[in-house]
Structure 1
Amino acid sequence: MYREWGAAGVPGAVLWGSVSGGGETRVLPDGCLDLLWSSRSGLLVAGPDRTAHLSRSAPGDRWIGLRLPPGTGPAVFGVPAEELRDRRVPLADLWGRAAAEVTERVEAALAAPGAGSAAAVLTRVARDRLRAAGGPDPVGARVAARLAAGATVAATAAEVGLGARALHRRSLTLFGYGPKTLARILRMRRALDLARAGAPLAEVAARSGYADQAHLTREVRELAGLPPSRLLAPATA
């Protein structure tokens, strides 16, 4: 069971919740950082992944998360995204005693009927941290939007007024990896969305900027660990 809904007050963020049936879940890279509460591990920060993260859980494990859009996480968590790359880190490692206060607020909300109030706690925490930081670096949203739309790294750098090296350094801080890696990840996400909407893979490859379907398959396998045909196959009981 998994669902998503909007996060009021944190532009571009998405709340999500799940109750595990047990086993392994493949989480695809998306350029985002997440603030998570886990019934097993408490409050965690999920850093930006370069490849698919395999999450293992027991039946009944619960998760509530706030997915922050690319470039926003560093302003919330107070550390460069590259320090969290490919990691799941206890929030206490980043915030110390402040994390214990957030944990108390989440646990109090969970004691009330429904999990929506716990999600609201995560949202308020992120919103307050963003305000205290003066908001996210606006370059992050501009870079992510241009790359998501299929712009080249060179064109994106020119549009935001940065040289290639400066854009790379800024991207490591904001996204956890360079703009070329972010562009590959966002292109894969765009391609998979088209495929899920029913477009044939050859058409998906052409519309997403891949040289051909074989190129699409190689890229998806490298980033997601499986070819598109397997990722898109219906789940079996």
Structure 2
Amino acid sequence: MGLEMESRPSDLGYIERVWRSRSEGVSEMTSVATSHWELVFWERRGEARAAVLGPEAQASRAPVPGDAVFFGISFALGTSMPHIPVSRLVGGNAAIPDVTRRSLWLKGTAWHVPGFDNAEAFVLRMVREGIVDLDPTVAAVLGGAAPDVSDRTLQRRFVAATGQTQGAIRQIHRARQAAVLIQEGMPAPEVVHRLGYFDQPHLARSLKRYVGRTATQLSSPNAAEPLSLLYKTCPWVPA
């Protein structure tokens, strides 16, 4: 009972992670803040749907269709769909019309609905047909390279490509890392030290805002009140 979830990383630079889940006996979850936008498909009682979900600036409660199967592609920071600007999707979504269990329409063309094992091929086609783009400067800076543009230009490009500032992305990333470490059993004082929080109250405020849980709640999760996807990532690079 609850929200069963499985995910995997991807070697494709356009994809952050691929995931799938199934809901049973749960109607609501806490949606953890995220800097990534996603393409999500779900099926319930023979009805198929799909949507582009934007980044989430803070944790929130979200409804979960009961007895449904979900599949999602979380896109890497710096990727975008030029015809649906990410900046307009922060905290929201855009439904994809005319979806069936096997097909969907994107920019006037029929596509096969992808799955957990062939997400990369689907995204590569999106790239070839100009539906997904990647800002090379943003991607390079995220990888640790020195920016070749001014700070103001870089910030503008970050917002255009991700819908958020570098500072907001950094805070969300750190809170998610903290939540994973606490779930794995690391004491809060050690998390504070490792991730550079000022003190435990600072950590507590961050967790409440971006994860929607206290350290105690993360240490003893309740299956009846599930969280959205949390996973280990590489440390944040840009200063």
Indicate the TM-score class for this superposition, using the shorter chain for normalisation: 0.7 to 0.9
The one of 123, 127, 150 equivalent to 1:126 is: 123
Could you tell me how far apart the structure 1 residues matched to 2:141 and 2:204 are? 25
Instruction: Give the aligned partner of residue 114 of structure 1.
Output: none
| Superposed CA offset, 1:116-136 (max 9, x none) | x63345432311122344952
Aligned to 2:77, the other structure's residue is in SS state coil
Instruction: Give the aligned partner of residue 140 of structure 1.
Output: 138
- Please say if residues 10 and 123 of structure 1, whose CA atoms lie closer than 8 Å, have aligned partners that are also in contact: no
Could you tell me how far apart the structure 1 residues matched to 2:37 and 2:133 are? 16
Could you tell me how far apart the structure 2 residues matched to 1:166 and 1:44 are? 30
For the aligned residue pairs, the C-alpha RMSD in angstroms reads 2.7
State the identity as a percent.
Answer: 23
**Structure 1 residues 63, 136: closer, same or farther in 2, change over 3 A?**
same
Instruction: Give the aligned partner of residue 149 of structure 1.
Output: none
Structure 2 matches for 1:1-237, cutoff 5 A?
A: 1-7=4-10, 9=12, 11-21=14-24, 22-40=26-44, 42-72=49-79, 74=80, 76=81, 78-92=83-97, 95-98=106-109, 101-102=110-111, 105-106=112-113, 118-120=115-117, 122-133=119-130, 136-146=134-144, 159-236=146-223
Aligned to 1:119, the other structure's residue is in SS state coil
- Structure 2: tracts of 5 or more residues without a match: 99-104, 225-239
Could you tell me how far apart the structure 1 residues matched to 2:55 and 2:182 are? 24
User: Structure 2 counterpart of 1:207, which letter?
Assistant: R
Q: CA offset at residue 7 of structure 1?
A: 4.2
Could you tell me how far apart the structure 1 residues matched to 2:202 and 2:140 are? 27
- Structure 1: tracts of 5 or more residues without a match: 107-116, 147-155
**Structure 1 residues 225, 212: closer, same or farther in 2, change over 3 A?**
same
Write 1 or 2 for the structure with the bigger share of helix. 1
Could you tell me how far apart the structure 2 residues matched to 1:96 and 1:12 are? 20
Instruction: Calculate the TM-score normalised by the size of structure 2.
Output: 0.76
| Superposed CA offset, 1:182-230 (max 9, x none) | 1111111222222233221111011111101110111121222332322
The structure with higher relative contact order (CA 8 Å, sep 6+) is: 2
Could you tell me how far apart the structure 2 residues matched to 1:207 and 1:46 are? 31
**Structure 1 residues 12, 95: closer, same or farther in 2, change over 3 A?**
closer
Quick check: 51-60 or 169-178, which moved more?
51-60
User: Structure 2 counterpart of 1:54, which letter?
Assistant: R
**Structure 1 residues 53, 143: closer, same or farther in 2, change over 3 A?**
farther
Q: CA offset at residue 68 of structure 1?
A: 1.2
Aligned to 1:44, the other structure's residue is in SS state strand
| Superposed CA offset, 1:71-125 (max 9, x none) | 22x0x56433112111121134994433xx23xx22xxxxxxxxxx633454323
Q: CA offset at residue 231 of structure 1?
A: 3.3
Write 1 or 2 for the structure with the bigger share of strand. 2
Instruction: Give the aligned partner of residue 150 of structure 1.
Output: none
Instruction: Calculate the TM-score normalised by the size of structure 1.
Output: 0.76
Q: CA offset at residue 38 of structure 1?
A: 1.4
Could you tell me how far apart the structure 1 residues matched to 2:162 and 2:216 are? 28
Could you tell me how far apart the structure 1 residues matched to 2:77 and 2:65 are? 29
**Structure 1 residues 89, 143: closer, same or farther in 2, change over 3 A?**
same
**Structure 1 residues 196, 225: closer, same or farther in 2, change over 3 A?**
closer
User: Structure 1 counterpart of 2:50, which letter?
Assistant: L
- Please say if residues 10 and 18 of structure 2, whose CA atoms lie closer than 8 Å, have aligned partners that are also in contact: yes
